[in-house]
Structure 1
Amino acid sequence: MVRGVTSTAAGGGERADAPARLPEGSEDASRVAARLRELIEGHRLSPAQRRIARHLLGRPHEAVFLSSVDIAVATGTSQPSVTRFAFALGFSGFPEFRDDLRAAMHDGPVAAATELGPVQAMVDSEIRNLELLRDSLGDTRRLHELAGALAASRPLPVVGLRVSAPLAHLFGYLAAKAHPDVRVFDAPGSALEDGLSRARDAGARWVLAFGLPRYPRELRDGLVWARKAGLRVGLVTDNAAGALAEHADAVLTAPVSSRFAFDSQAAPSVLCAVLVHAMVDALPVREQAAIEHFESSAGERRLFLPD
């Protein structure tokens, strides 16, 4: 039985003494690290909660002894933030969360995967996300239906706000190598509404939006506006039941990892490339030939350094 090292102060609050620790690299510490990764995986955490998670993952040999005060001080958060972290992982409070970690020390042998360091474990979470994306693309009907619709939309507006703006620009940059009229919008409000309205007046039928967490309210408003303007909406997001999906006509999903300080978008980036590939395949041959023309022109102009 593991003994705690905290006591209750006279005022009823939690008081932290100097925390004990397990031997670093011990099987008990490895079991705690494995349980922490299992609990955190798949949960959406706030930036403060991610700091707490990273702190604990980096110190599994201390985690079962730390009080909420210890963690709050070490991470520059507050004791209520630590409690909310426990809530976010499904516990009724911090003591229940810590008891769960302590119970993990009595589990069976540690799997080899628990030998991963904290940074390796973060990368491993992205590998699993890519495997999930790969498996979800076993049936490509929705992918090809959306790609065909985007290929036929002239012009093709593409929207991404805040953290999703780089993916929108990546898609737009690549798609414009073959599609004759791609228009990328990354500003919210009236600028987005005006741009979508002009695209619709010019003949657009679809808009492609990238909406990854944290979901901007302005993006939802832009999607609502797009549908009112008569555009159909294709959405690339991380959750088919998320806050934006109800405002889209076609949804493609790729998971993001919240194990890092900021969401990692490896799987959505791959899905972006997959969607461009499928859209180019759906374009008429004469427009696909534009890619070859660009390559020839780039060679003549020596745009790129030799490999």
Structure 2
Amino acid sequence: MNKANAQVSDNLISRINDHYSSMSKGQKRLADYCMEHYEKAAFMTAAELGRQAEVSESTAVRFAALLGYSGFPEFHDNLEEMVRMKLNSIQRMEVTYGRIPREKILDTVLRHDENNIRMTLEQTDKKAFQMAVDDILQARTIYVVGIRSCAPLAEFLSFYLKQIFPDVRLVSTNNASEIFEQMIRISEKDVVIGISFPRYSMRTLKAMEFANNRNARVITITDSVHSPMNLYSSCNLIARSDMASIVDSLVAPLSVINALIVALCMRRQKEVVYTLKTMEQLWKEYQVYTGDEINRLDDKVSL
């Protein structure tokens, strides 16, 4: 856990300990539940937390106020940060099983993704987004780093950046040494985009540290201002990612990446149009989108 996460954890625990003696019986049950089952409490609403502690929703809200928070959402955010770096894959699965009835999996997951996008929109730093666009436009070389579940995001982003810029490098990350070998020439003229969500990748973090030490501009796409990814970045793009599942929710991060690509395309319209015209000719000449697709004319299937 980095320093920021440790401070959030210590602050929450200290508040509970400091006020415990003056709490009502119901509030003590809430405090006990939060400390014993923090990995589940972090993903509950006030009503859900109240039911688990056998108190009312209003008691849960007053409990957050007693601890000095402006409201239950602030308390909830601090509790979530407390567990963000602590849950392993098995614990994440257990939390999911405790939250989602099997018959409501589809509805619940889609609503969580919808909520992640809404919260991302509400919390987006528009200045940071514009700064990221400007930094990328001014870069000589653009490096994109994302591994494990974030690898598809990194590949998607680099695919479209290559249609806009002449020098884009998707950093492959089979091992730590390969990362540094591929980034050995990075300098203050370049930019690196690092993508990581809980559980955060140490290799991606080391790549950001390496780029920062070389005075390159560092852009991160991550889930929180408390993310360790932000230790070395000059520009942070925050996208909500519900981590209470063995499957990472990357819907909101992908939306942020889409917005970034669109913004860059609008700033480089001439280059993009030229590239697309050239590629359309190549696709037609080499039958990229004809010869390798199924043709169902005359009820015949051919490749």
The bucket for the TM-score relative to the shorter chain is: 0.5 to 0.7
- Aligned positions of 1:147-226 closer than 5 A: 147-187=133-173, 188-200=175-187, 204-226=189-211
Measured at CA, do residues 59 and 207 of structure 1 come closer, stay the same or move farther in structure 2, by a change above 3 Å?
A: closer
Q: Is the 8 A contact 2:198 2:243 kept in 1?
A: no
- State the AA in 1 paired with 2:92: R
Measured at CA, do residues 140 and 125 of structure 1 come closer, stay the same or move farther in structure 2, by a change above 3 Å?
A: same
Q: Percent identity?
A: 19
Q: Is the 8 A contact 1:156 1:204 kept in 2?
A: no
Match of 1:125 in 2: 112
Range moving further from structure 2, 214-223 or 167-176: 214-223
1:224-246: per-residue Cα shift (whole Å, max 9, x none)? Answer: 11111221101111112211112
Match of 1:109 in 2: none
State the shift of 1:33 in Å: 11
> 2:273, 2:212 → 1: CA distance?
29
Measured at CA, do residues 135 and 293 of structure 1 come closer, stay the same or move farther in structure 2, by a change above 3 Å?
A: farther
Q: Is 1:55 matched with 2:97?
A: yes
Measured at CA, do residues 152 and 206 of structure 1 come closer, stay the same or move farther in structure 2, by a change above 3 Å?
A: same
State the shift of 1:287 in Å: 4.9
Q: Is 1:298 matched with 2:283?
A: yes
Q: 2:257 aligns with which of 266, 269, 272?
A: 272
Q: Is the 8 A contact 2:149 2:248 kept in 1?
A: no
Q: Is the 8 A contact 2:164 2:272 kept in 1?
A: yes
1:58-113: per-residue Cα shift (whole Å, max 9, x none)? Answer: 569xxxxxxxxxxxxxxxxxxxxxxxxxxxxxxxxxxxxxxxxxxxxxxxxxxxxx
1:95-137: per-residue Cα shift (whole Å, max 9, x none)? Answer: xxxxxxxxxxxxxxxxxxxxx8233112211110011223345
State the shift of 1:148 in Å: 2.0
Q: Report which of the two has the higher share of helix.
A: 2
- Aligned positions of 1:232-271 closer than 5 A: 232-271=217-256
> 1:231, 1:59 → 2: CA distance?
47
- State the AA in 2 paired with 1:57: R
SS in 1 for 2:192: strand
> 1:254, 1:299 → 2: CA distance?
38
Q: Is the 8 A contact 2:164 2:271 kept in 1?
A: no
> 1:49, 1:167 → 2: CA distance?
25
State the shift of 1:277 in Å: 1.5
Q: Is 1:281 matched with 2:266?
A: yes
Q: Is the 8 A contact 1:144 1:279 kept in 2?
A: no
1:155-196: per-residue Cα shift (whole Å, max 9, x none)? Answer: 211111222222111110111112111001031422211222
1:189-215: per-residue Cα shift (whole Å, max 9, x none)? Answer: 222112222243xx8421111122211
Measured at CA, do residues 280 and 117 of structure 1 come closer, stay the same or move farther in structure 2, by a change above 3 Å?
A: same
1:236-282: per-residue Cα shift (whole Å, max 9, x none)? Answer: 11112211112101000101122432212111111111111212223
Question: Based on CA coordinates, which of the two structures has the bigger radius of gyration?
Answer: 1
- State the AA in 2 paired with 1:268: P
Measured at CA, do residues 237 and 57 of structure 1 come closer, stay the same or move farther in structure 2, by a change above 3 Å?
A: closer
Measured at CA, do residues 179 and 35 of structure 1 come closer, stay the same or move farther in structure 2, by a change above 3 Å?
A: farther
State the shift of 1:145 in Å: 2.0
- State the AA in 1 paired with 2:181: D
Q: Is the 8 A contact 2:241 2:249 kept in 1?
A: yes
- State the AA in 1 paired with 2:96: R
Measured at CA, do residues 304 and 49 of structure 1 come closer, stay the same or move farther in structure 2, by a change above 3 Å?
A: same
Match of 1:82 in 2: none
TM-score normalised to structure 2 length? 0.62
> 2:207, 2:216 → 1: CA distance?
11
Measured at CA, do residues 154 and 59 of structure 1 come closer, stay the same or move farther in structure 2, by a change above 3 Å?
A: closer
Question: Where does structure 1 lack aligned partners over 5 or more consecutive residues?
Answer: 1-30, 61-115
How many residues align? The count is: 217
Q: Is the 8 A contact 1:33 1:57 kept in 2?
A: no
> 2:132, 2:160 → 1: CA distance?
17
Match of 1:143 in 2: 129
